[in-house]
Structure 1
Amino acid sequence: MTNSGWDIAMWRIDAKYDLPQFVASSLVRKIAANHFHLPATDRHRFQPIPDDVIARIEDIVRQAYIEAGEDVGGDILRAHLWRQALDGRRAMIASGELLTPTEFTRRIGVTENRLTQLLDSYSVFAVEVDGVEYVPAFLSDPSLNRKRLQAICQIIMPAPPLSRLDFLTAQNGTLGDRTPLDMLDDDGDYKVLERAAAAWAAEWSRTSVRVYDGLHETEPIDVSPLYTASAEIDPRRPLWKRASEALHAQGYQWPLGPYMDARQFTLFVERQTAGDGASTPEACVQISVDGEDIRIRVVAASGTTLRTETMPAGNHRSLIDIAKRVIAYLTNATRA
């Protein structure tokens, strides 16, 4: 018979601590029912037990349920990591590492309207803790090159605020085990930091191009694409440049070929943010090859026709070569 998480936790608590069975049982049930933390409202019921012992018992219960296979989908571990992160952010508030907007504006000597402008331009950012927004204190540090720091904040905008906070304050192997905050003064260091920040920011967004046989205005759900290419690219770059890079970059490409000789096919371009299960459709391009000509019909994600154009096919005959040529044409047309 398989032991339950409750059984394993009870045995381990009994082996480690001299607690009455009814007390240990009550602790295990309350901890397990509250994302593996004893509710603050119940702490007074176990007042004789020191805080450090309660914390160790919480760990015992959590590990017991995981070992018993009762962590369906990793929910226990995710809840634990989320709670750890939340506790860490609360500690940052207590230590003054996160500031209220009012305190932040006082420190840098600006109005609330100016702070709103800085937030809207991504020159600074705020993180949310318990439903309240706080601004990292280092963004107000007069010893740092604020102009360069704000420029880096703008570069890393695609990432979630908490990830931006970690990027700016954590040691980074690509930066010689220094933090970005250590690289703001020296011109050479700053150029290295700019490149590293741009590369890191691009990892938070993926642009994909999928090719389907035939002409479509919405992406088919009952057939597989003829070809898929995707790459991690900064979402602020122009649409057609991102699509072109996805087709040319050495990222994900499938299948590797050979490809069928389709005379009519459709490209769908979409963007997806890391951690977001839903993707954002950005464009649909219908392509028809007729002799020496390629007819292009560009459709917005909403289904609205933007334009229909004709371009020479040239020597490009394969499906992927034609797709690359069409995207290059659209890139140049947009630039013009």
Structure 2
Amino acid sequence: MTFREEIRRQAESARREMVRNGELLTRSEFRARLRVSERRLGQMLATGSVFSMVVDGAAYFPAVLAEATVDRQRLQAVCRILVPAPSACRLDYLISPQGNLGDIVPLKALADDASYRRLREMARAWAAEWSRTTLKIYAGFNEPGGSEPTYVAVCEADPRTNLWKRALQAMDAGGYITPPGPYPRRDTATVLIFRSEAGKPDDVLEARLDVDIVDDMAHMRIHAGDVSQELDAISVVGDDTIVDVVHRIVLSLCDMQRR
């Protein structure tokens, strides 16, 4: 048995014990405690207000999510923030003391207004760690995969956040950018945006952006999934490098999303 298989076996054993102890509830038990319909529970699951864990192929729900002594509205709001993390990690976060909360258990922080505001802030930062967005620029006519990227920027961000907002965050973050520059000026470039999730080996390509600059105007085509779309050209006068150009393009795409 490999180390990973042993860890998985121990986790499954611990979950079975939680079922026996009543820490994990069946779907019908959980609905009864919350006093919600099957339809309402489905809606809560879809939004991340509650979550389940799989034990021997069946879904079970943490009993603490139906605890009558906690502020359920606040608890469900925090659960929605934690969605990027795996269910088991979300539960552990909620019931374990957190150093950035002064070693307070998040469930206990729900009762105090100031602690609750701090919890929401820290929960967002914690949840973002489970997903990364990477932007790569390939300058010139080089095809991705055939050469090293001219520029790579990475940030930890909630995958539910708009793609271009995450891409801009990666370029503006500053902490995860390679190489440091200077960057060349090119008339063509290909930009790839990936999403990676903790515990999953493969990155997901979210979008490809083809850029062609003619007379200080950037012409762009976006490929996302099976959809390809040509966008209106924008002026890039004053942008000295291909990285400057891409930054302006991403910023303009963020502005378009807000309209």
TM-score tier by shorter-chain length is over 0.9
Instruction: Give, in whole Å, the separation in 2 of the partners of 1:224 and 1:240.
Output: 23
> Does 2:191 correspond to 1:284?
no
Q: Is the 8 A contact 2:131 2:198 kept in 1?
A: yes
Instruction: Give, in whole Å, the separation in 2 of the partners of 1:263 and 1:329.
Output: 18
Q: CA RMSD in A?
A: 1.5
2:152 to 219, 225, 228: 228
1:205 to 108, 117, 131: 131
Which residue of the partner structure matches residue 192 of structure 2?
A: 268
Which residue of the partner structure matches residue 176 of structure 1?
A: 102
Aligned letter for 2:17? A
Instruction: Give, in whole Å, the separation in 2 of the partners of 1:89 and 1:279.
Output: 29
As a proportion of its length, which structure holds more strand? 2
Which residue of the partner structure matches residue 89 of structure 1?
A: 15
Offset from partner CA, 1:239-290 (integer Å, 9 cap, x none): 1101100111133211111222222111111111111112221111112222
Aligned letter for 1:322? V
Q: Is the 8 A contact 1:228 1:254 kept in 2?
A: yes
Which residue of the partner structure matches residue 134 of structure 1?
A: 60
Question: Any idea what SS the aligned residue of 2:194 has?
Answer: strand
Q: Which has the higher contact order (CA 8 A, sep 6+)?
A: 2
Instruction: Give, in whole Å, the separation in 1 of the partners of 2:212 and 2:191.
Output: 11
Structure 1 residue 334 displacement after superposition: 2.1
Instruction: Give, in whole Å, the separation in 1 of the partners of 2:216 and 2:5.
Output: 59
CA radius of gyration, larger in: 1
Equivalences, count? 259
Structure 1 residue 215 displacement after superposition: 5.5
Residues 26-45 of structure 1: pairs in structure 2 closer than 5 A: 35=1
What stretches of structure 2 of length at least 5 have no aligned partner?
Answer: none
What stretches of structure 1 of length at least 5 have no aligned partner?
Answer: 1-34, 36-74
> Does 2:255 correspond to 1:332?
yes
Residues 93-172 of structure 1: pairs in structure 2 closer than 5 A: 93-172=19-98
Which residue of the partner structure matches residue 65 of structure 1?
A: none
Structure 1 length-normalised TM? 0.74
Question: Any idea what SS the aligned residue of 2:30 has?
Answer: helix
As a proportion of its length, which structure holds more helix? 1
Structure 1 residue 113 displacement after superposition: 2.2
